[in-house]
Amino acid sequence: MKICRFNDDRVGIVRDESVFDVTAQAYAAHNDAVQDVVIAALPRLKRLTEAEIAACPARPLDRVQLKSPILAPGKIVAAPVNYQAHIQEMHASNISPGHNIPEIGKAGLFLKANSSLIGPSQGIALRFPERRTDHEIELVAIIGTTANEVRHAESLQFVAGYCLGLDITLRGPEDRSFRKSIDSYSVLGPWLTTADEVADPQALQLTLHNNGELRQDTPTADMVYDVARIIEFASSFYTLHPGDIVYTGTPQGVGPIVSGDRLRAHCKELGTMDVEVRAAG
Ligand code: MN
């Protein structure tokens, strides 16, 4: 099942080129134990029959404003340096001068501010246009149930679903979490694809085009720490809660974006999202 948030905090099920509005059903399933309405409603939404979905008001997908499928996560966890070819390009290009680029096991994970989170329709607002700012396409896992000190073999059971993410990155000397936490620098979308539709998160192909030119094109099999190991690693330090968001690192091909650019992130199983870049202000 593919579940989106759209327009004025409405919840939809995406089927081909249509969005079926299931806002009423989603909110009816809300429970106080799980903060995020979409995550709380997943069991109920999955039980909807074809007839019940077909009876919901439908809109063309290309006529809705797609927002982040998760509205207010407890935290946004992110993996640095998780593809070997990206580590090599960082060493070779010197685009992060002054930063150590160790392996992920030594670097650990970092957190991005929740206030940086947007959906594809909202666009990226560049706050420091005079400084290099890069696109990073990433596979993102959304936590569905509380995970604390989970083992690798079981950790994917705690994943509700997957999304595409853009971890937009201001280059420079500041700490990672500061440079990557600017408003609109965490794009999530185009919708949440439930985990049952992703047989193997390490068997996906991520592509990113900028203005129609292919910039990133890598299989998730190339991750240094696979999704399960990232969740194991994260939960060995802190509890992951339902609705927490886990960015799993960018592959090679990162490059600068400027106002007017149009990014297209794509994965066959997760969908396509178009994101415009503008100057903040
Ligand atoms: Mn990243």
Q: Mean pLDDT for each consecutive 10-residue tract of the chain (281 residues)?
A: 97 97 90 84 94 97 98 96 87 73 90 98 97 97 98 98 98 95 98 98 98 97 97 98 97 96 98 98 86
Q: Of 207, 215, 217, 190, give the one whose Cα is nearest residue 275.
A: 190
Query: What distance in angstroms lies between residue 79's CA and the mean position of ligand 1's atoms?
Result: 6
3-state secondary structure string across 47-71: HCCHHHHHCCCEEEHHHCCEECCCC
pTM, full prediction: 0.96
Query: What distance in angstroms lies between residue 165's CA and the mean position of ligand 1's atoms?
Result: 9
pLDDT of residue 169: 97
Q: What is the DSSP letter of 76?
A: E
Taking the C-alpha atoms of residue 131 and residue 116, their distance in angstroms, rounded to an integer, is 18
Query: What distance in angstroms lies between residue 136's CA and the mean position of ligand 1's atoms?
Result: 6
Query: What distance in angstroms lies between residue 10's CA and the mean position of ligand 1's atoms?
Result: 28
